[in-house]
Amino acid sequence: MRILAFIVFNVFSIVNGQFLNLLSTKRNLVANSTVVMRTFEANPDTKRLYDDLLSNYNRLIRPVINNTETLTVWLGLKLSQLIEMNLKNQVMITNVWVEQRWFDYKLQWDPEEYGGVEMIYVPSENIWLPDIVLYNKGQNIQHKNADGNYEVTLMTKATLKYTGEVFWKPPAIYKSSCEINVEYFPFDEQSCVMKFGSWTYNGAQVDLKHMLQESGSNLVKIGIDLTDFYLSVEWDILEVPAARNEEYYPCCEEPYSDITFNITMRRKTLFYTVNLIIPCVGITFLTVLVFYLPSDSGEKVSLCSSILLSLTVFFLLLAEIIPPTSLAIPLLGKYLLFTMILVTLSIWITVCVLNVYFRSPSTHSMSPWVRQVFLNWMPTILRMRRTPYTPENEDEYMDSGYTNEIDSSVSDYPLELKGTDGFENVTSTYKNIREDDARDIPHASVTDSENTMSRYLSPDVISALKGISFIAQHIKDADKDNEVKLLLDNINVLYGYVIEDWKFVAMVLDRFFLWVFTLACFFGTLIIICQAPSLYDTREAVDKRLSTISLRKMLLPQHPPQHELATKL
């Protein structure tokens, strides 16, 4: 029984709780419905005003009392973000608010008749709107909006005042065409225009004026509102003037008024300086190292070719960034062309230097002026010191006892080597040494002496004498061979001296062009890069000065974070 009573008690508690929850939910619904009813009941004047204004309103008719009357539309532009500046396609993408204001006499009321309501919000689809579109005119050529949408696509609500003033500020993202000037890329400034005007109504029907335009002037210095502008990471905005224009088109006799907004931007060059300019300058100065590399290393031409290939890669990158225009050569393109010319010249000069380096007396003769200029004058000017040449077999013939004889024999035998002073051919008369010695021995006397000795001496003695004579003649011939060998060694030494002269001429040429290319790279880099006007432009960016978002970000670092404050406390 206790168990049954316990079960009944639990079931009753659950049912009672659910009943109480349902009762509470019902009370909440009743309370909410009461609040909603009170809300609707609290704003009956606005509903009545809305019905009275738009019940008989025709949104297709221009809101003027007289058909000949001109309706003035005040136009302004609020730039929120510069989304992208596409150089390749010459398109500027912006996020803007198109601020418009005009007077509609049919939307006036007396606030006292409607409970003091002075302003209401109505859907923009229900009232007359000026068909303001983006023409986007370039220099001498009229372009359409690059996105294909002329007008505002998001129909936000409009604000109505009891005086009949209508305010409409729809947001829009425009892709407008912009003529890109790549002459000083990447240190360039771009000026893009956004031309707004009425597509249907001429200047006699709808007159466009800038919201900040003063009487007697069609130019507004700060024509774009930058208070809510998010700073761009690539561009600084320098000027945002606006001007009112009237133009005549072939289709119509009446003038059409428009407001042209001009956005002048200066590129922030840090990105391209780090990723393009500095690598290009480094590759340019690599050309100088070609002349510092020894000629016998065999890598001079390979280094030049590698630099030339790397420049080709930079040309391809440049072609992917800038538009395919033939109006001007970009500043970076000029620098790459300058570097390519230097590399091409370095290859040509390197081949000539290698040709000089591997010359020998048997193929080339060094003229006196070459010897005077490249062995005497230029080493002194370039402060080059020549290391004395040491032959490989210098110790052998210098330590021998025939040194003096060799020196005298060198003067006796005329040696003519190409590349030495006053000689044209390599000749030597040492081949006739044995012939001259043979002429000194009288053959007749030798025969007579042999006959005489055969009479008085025994055959054994005669054989011994012949052996002694043969040995003596052999020793004499060996001495002559040593003299010839030493003479040939001396010729080889002279040959080596001439080869070293050609090598030193090649070293002088390398040192000379090392300085020439160093100066050319340095001054060429300065002259080309310093042509950019933006390097000398000290104008302050107006977006940093006018943007409240930028000012808030500048003030934020002055206040320590919350966790630092908590730590200090």
Whether the pLDDT of residue 467 is over 70: the answer is no
Residue 30: pLDDT band with limits 50, 70, 90: very low
- Rounded to an integer, the average pLDDT of 275-284 is 90
Average pLDDT value for the chain:
77
Q: How far is Cα 264 from Cα 66, in angstroms, rounded to an integer?
A: 41
Residue 465: pLDDT band with limits 50, 70, 90: low
| Six-digit token string for 523 | 């001054």
Residue 38: pLDDT band with limits 50, 70, 90: very low
Under 8 Å between Cβ of 339 and 281: no
Whether the pLDDT of residue 1 is over 60: the answer is no
Looking at residue 346, its pLDDT comes to 92
Residue 451: pLDDT band with limits 50, 70, 90: low
The rounded percent of the chain whose pLDDT value lies above 90 is 36
- Rounded to an integer, the average pLDDT of 483-495 is 67
Residue 502: pLDDT band with limits 50, 70, 90: confident
Whether the pLDDT of residue 439 is over 80: the answer is no
**CA angle at 29 for the pair 26 and 30, rounded to the nearest 5°:** 85
Whether the pLDDT of residue 96 is over 90: the answer is yes
Among the listed ranges 161-170, 403-412, 455-464, which one has the minimum average pLDDT value? 403-412
Looking at residue 359, its pLDDT comes to 85
Residue environment code for 302-327, b if the CB has 16+ CB neighbours within 10 A, otherwise e: ebbeebbebbeebeeebeeebeeeee
The alpha carbon of residue 301 and the mean position of all alpha carbons in its chain are separated, in whole angstroms, by 26
- Rounded to an integer, the average pLDDT of 514-521 is 94
Looking at residue 297, its pLDDT comes to 83
More confident residue, 405 or 390: 390
Task: Kindly report the number of other CB atoms within 10 A of residue 405's CB atom.
Answer: 16
Looking at residue 196, its pLDDT comes to 94
| Six-digit token string for 71 | 């309706």
Per-residue pLDDT of 69-82, as tens digits, reads 999 999 999 999 99
Among the listed ranges 84-88, 407-411, 495-499, 512-516, which one has the minimum average pLDDT value? 407-411
| Six-digit token string for 204 | 């006699």
Residue 68: pLDDT band with limits 50, 70, 90: confident
Whether the pLDDT of residue 217 is over 90: the answer is no
Among the listed ranges 101-105, 124-128, 318-322, 493-497, which one has the minimum average pLDDT value? 493-497
Looking at residue 225, its pLDDT comes to 94
Among the listed ranges 58-67, 87-96, 405-414, 477-486, which one has the minimum average pLDDT value? 405-414
- Rounded to an integer, the average pLDDT of 422-428 is 38
Per-residue pLDDT of 314-324, as tens digits, reads 888 888 888 88
Residue 468: pLDDT band with limits 50, 70, 90: low
- Rounded to an integer, the average pLDDT of 29-46 is 52
The rounded percent of the chain whose pLDDT value lies above 70 is 68
Looking at residue 197, its pLDDT comes to 92
Three-state DSSP at 353 gives: helix
Per-residue pLDDT of 332-349, as tens digits, reads 999 999 999 999 999 999
Residue 379: pLDDT band with limits 50, 70, 90: confident
Looking at residue 122, its pLDDT comes to 94
Q: What would the DSSP string read from start to end of 61-93? A: S---SSTTPPEEEEEEEEEEEEEEEETTTTEEE
Q: What would the DSSP string read from start to end of 110-175? A: -GGGGTT--EEEEEGGGS----EEE--B-SSSB---TTS--S--S-PEEEEETTSEEEE--EEEEE
CA torsion through residues 523, 529, 533, 534, sign: negative
Under 8 Å between Cβ of 158 and 166: yes
